[in-house]
Structure 1
């Protein structure tokens, strides 16, 4: 357990030690902040026009849909860029064998690296929650809705990170890992768009965005929660199995 925490701390420090880590975080914050400002102004413009449908939505939901919506799109690009080096860079720099020879299991390696990237991306989600909470002096914040929406985005980020980590474990080329992760995430997030004619199609229920939308509507559904957890566990197990195969067969 301590080795896993140490590895997670190492991954987090390495992200902040590189210009790329700060650059990605800065760009993300800038985009989220822009949508925050635009949503804030747009809300009051529509409210002043007396548009009753927006009045019924409430400021918390209106702001969260804009801010969290752009963040969900950002994750599709951020996760491949951040996760691409987790395992592939270790192979490329020939430090993977050294890591495997350390007194640490393959499970601890994968979970430690996953925890590092999740901690990094969680900073973005926390900052968005704080942004909306700063509106409390001027409006009533629907805290249960806000936290439910934030949980959905966090679960989406967790599942995407597990998938990115798996693809990083397949190759020693970080660029190839990023491309495969991005392609897979684009497909997995939009599976429901490919089956619009039949909402009961099997693949419709495998769409990440389909399950995220339930949280975005303020609904805490155990089915969606279990889906994200199983999705994460599935790709974590695949990554562990991949490292075990490397250790056994070289």
Structure 2
């Protein structure tokens, strides 16, 4: 692919143009790399939050990446409550199916009524949400639409924080009772932040990008460490099957914040 970083940056800035924010060159390369990671199956989905580009603009950018050979899979776009995801149908269906079979998703209850976060079990509500989401994908993908909209009638009773963690393939997701509010008990709670970095050599530059970033309360780390380690090993296995991205790197830091918005 004889395409320079300048050509990719120019295409992203043109096709993802927003009145609110013009993408920086670094962000353009980040977005391209993360879409490629979704295409390669090492990232289940990308939550696009770089600017206010519409799903239709994202589809145009996806088309340009496919035309230039950077994307080879038939990626789709999902809109949920004004949030936009880019996902690989095969990867997301396999991921959700594995969760239903293994029931291995870790849920962390951070309801504000609690003094501290606790691990929650794989409850029927969570199982029903995953089944409904999987069924929705199967039905909608058969229709062949490039941009899919998840209606409020389906997700109205779901915790979107948990749902987004599912979509993004995190090993653990936060949960709170949204019927009682959207606060949480993470204020001044030490959090272990796990980050995954990769590099991409594109002809004239070597670009480093954050592929995953998620947190777990430090006081629960000893209980979830082995689960996160298995997730890490599985990610490494998928990463080693592709030849494009390099230098997979894992880091871990502990932070304490006066407030945490989920």
TM-score of the two chains, using structure 1 as the length reference? 0.27
Larger radius of gyration: 1
**Larger strand percent:** 2
**Larger helix percent:** 1
